Structure 1
């Protein structure tokens, strides 16, 4: 009896796993080094990072909800707000984790200039995913003769314009 080999995880997943395994060791080494330099103030610095993390998470969640409500009230898509909120929350969580390396990463993530950079990276990443088959847009009216009713991937629908026209062609 032969078994099929399991698919290998992508490189980025394996790298992330290795970093996650090494992170506690790196954090302990950095905390010990900082302890030798500033002594007991190390504990105060770690507590300050934790408190900053709590503040960032609170402000990010309340601010994101307020910005999303504002975007919805203005009838515009909340794309920027949706992109910025997770980054601020991840930055806050990294500040909560005891250690200076994770706190430094958290501070970098919550800086306003980094938000625009990460927003662009996210657009590229999501755009690449959508372009490789994650989403396929099909002109429903053009392929109507090729669609089978029993096809599980076909969703029957109707386009209704804002002014009530049914077919979306402007007639």
Structure 2
């Protein structure tokens, strides 16, 4: 995956230059530059508008003590589209417009959710290690044995309790185990 990202960061600028040259030959250099500037200005406007809207919704939710709305993926797609429009280049402008158009946003949202689900699943399997099971509680997890025991029937852990009370002395007692307290 890292190699793919490195190749994308190397290939996208080269492709953008090639497309700019082709568009510049077709419509002229100054109209091509004007189109890139217009796309960047549109992207900046979208970012500013959506950012303000998201910030306002977050502030309202915090003041009323409730969770922010579930419409965050749409706002995130719109901001991502604005960022792609703000980046100079015709290819990024096309992808940014796909992120902004109302009839393509649901498709991109579904594709993004599938991609993220695959990445999370792969990460969970990779981080579980051999014989440990998934960290998300699938069968074979090291916590299965703890779930099957009734509360309070686990192992006794011997240790030392140190209480630091303001204005009072330290109380240290390591002779009794923690279950006797």
Query: Normalising by the residue count of structure 1, what TM-score does the alignment of the two structures yield?
Result: 0.63
Length, aligned pairs only: 138
Q: Distance in 2 between matches of 1:65 and 1:147?
A: 49
Which residue matches 1:34? 23
Q: Distance in 1 between matches of 2:155 and 2:99?
A: 46
Aligned-CA RMSD value: 3.3
User: 1:86 aligned to 2:76?
Assistant: yes
Instruction: Write the deviation string for residues 122-159 of structure 1: whole angstroms up to 9, x where unpaired.
Output: 43344442675453487987654458879xxxxxxxxx
User: 1:17 aligned to 2:6?
Assistant: yes
Instruction: Write the deviation string for residues 73-98 of structure 1: whole angstroms up to 9, x where unpaired.
Output: 595663322x2232222211111111
Q: Secondary structure at the match of 1:79?
A: coil
Instruction: Write the deviation string for residues 91-136 of structure 1: whole angstroms up to 9, x where unpaired.
Output: 1111111111111111111122333223333433444426754534
Q: Structure 1 pair 149/60, CA: closer, same or farther in 2 (3 Å)?
A: farther
Which residue matches 2:131? none
Q: Distance in 2 between matches of 1:55 and 1:149?
A: 60
Counterpart pick for 2:96 among 98, 102, 106: 106
Which residue matches 1:48? 38
Q: Distance in 1 between matches of 2:68 and 2:157?
A: 33
Provide structure 2 residue ranges, at least 5 long, that are not aligned to the other structure.
126-133, 159-181
User: 1:115 aligned to 2:116?
Assistant: no
Q: For structure 1, which segment, 15-24 or 112-121, has the greater mean C-alpha deviation from structure 2 after superposition?
A: 112-121
Q: Give the superposition deviation at 1:60.
A: 1.5
Provide structure 1 residue ranges, at least 5 long, that are not aligned to the other structure.
1-9, 151-171
Q: Give the superposition deviation at 1:57.
A: 0.3
Query: Normalising by the residue count of structure 2, what TM-score does the alignment of the two structures yield?
Result: 0.60
Q: Distance in 1 between matches of 2:11 and 2:92?
A: 12
